[in-house]
Amino acid sequence: MVIPAIDLKGGRCVRLRQGDLNRETVYADDPVATAAAWKRQGAERLHVVDLDGSFAGIPRHEAVIRKMVAETGLPIQVGGGIRNIKTVESYLRTGVRWVILGTSVFMDPSFAHEACRMFPNRVILGIDAVGGRVAVRGWTERTEETALALARRFMEDGPAALVYTDIARDGMETGVNIEATGELADVVGIPVIASGGVSGINDIERLLPLEKRGVVGVIAGKALYTGALSLAEAIERTRGRVREA
């Protein structure tokens, strides 16, 4: 599945390079209209990140996200500033299909374990890494924990999926980290969604063989906004793969 990304900052749709707030490009002033546009082009799911929430530790764009859910009807996965059960419940009540836990997976694992078990198949774990090492708090703090070691801790909790982001590639259009993504899927046995570095249709082609290893989708951001990747073409290619199988 090819999943368009919508990153929210100051009420607008932006993209960052390698998660750096000082390297921001604004692509749209109306994120809800952007979500509707991706739906018209065939999107079957949206990946939404509240960047302001990531840095504040609490949601900042709940109203916008609620409107996206209501107006598109698409399944939406949301991350950014989700640090307690109350926030998880609040998002799920608005119609958000999945919440994504990122920083708390490392900083507050007891909460992440509890959320996975309280809300089966509704919690996605976001693991963001540089050189294989986990980064947290909007990617501003790097740790010594490896992505593989962190993911292993949650194998028994039944998360809906893992979103694995290679921060060094995010927003850079330098290609997905195929090797690390495949290795993670092999080890944890949890569905993995690739993220970071999509540059064009070639990356979609390279990811398709990983489906058999448990990589179920890819998040695309900058490449879609710049036109380097056509969402319609990418979706058609993945559907063609399904037919071939």
- Whether the CA torsion 84, 86, 88, 90 is positive or negative: it is negative
Residue 86's pLDDT is what?
97
Residue 167's pLDDT is what?
80
Q: What is the pTM of this model?
A: 0.92
Q: Is 128 a known active-site residue? A: yes
Q: Which member of 7, 52, 166, 203 is catalytic?
A: 7
Overall size of the chain counted in residues: 245
* Tokens matching residue 193: 């969604």
Residue 172's pLDDT is what?
60
* Tokens matching residue 78: 């949301």
CB 205 within 8 A of CB 233: no
Residue 244's pLDDT is what?
43
Residue 35's pLDDT is what?
98
Domain locations in the chain as residue ranges: 2-244
Q: Is 52 a known active-site residue? A: no
Q: What is the tens place of the pLDDT at every residue in 152-208?
A: 999 999 999 999 998 867 666 778 999 999 999 999 999 999 998 899 999 999 999
Q: Please give the share of the chain, as a percent, with pLDDT higher than 70.
A: 91
- What's the CATH superfamily of 2-244? Aldolase class I (3.20.20.70)
Q: Which member of 50, 52, 128, 166 is catalytic?
A: 128
Residue 139's pLDDT is what?
61
Q: Give the residue ranges of the chain where pLDDT is below 50.
A: 242-245
Q: What is the tens place of the pLDDT at every residue in 218-233?
A: 999 999 999 999 999 9
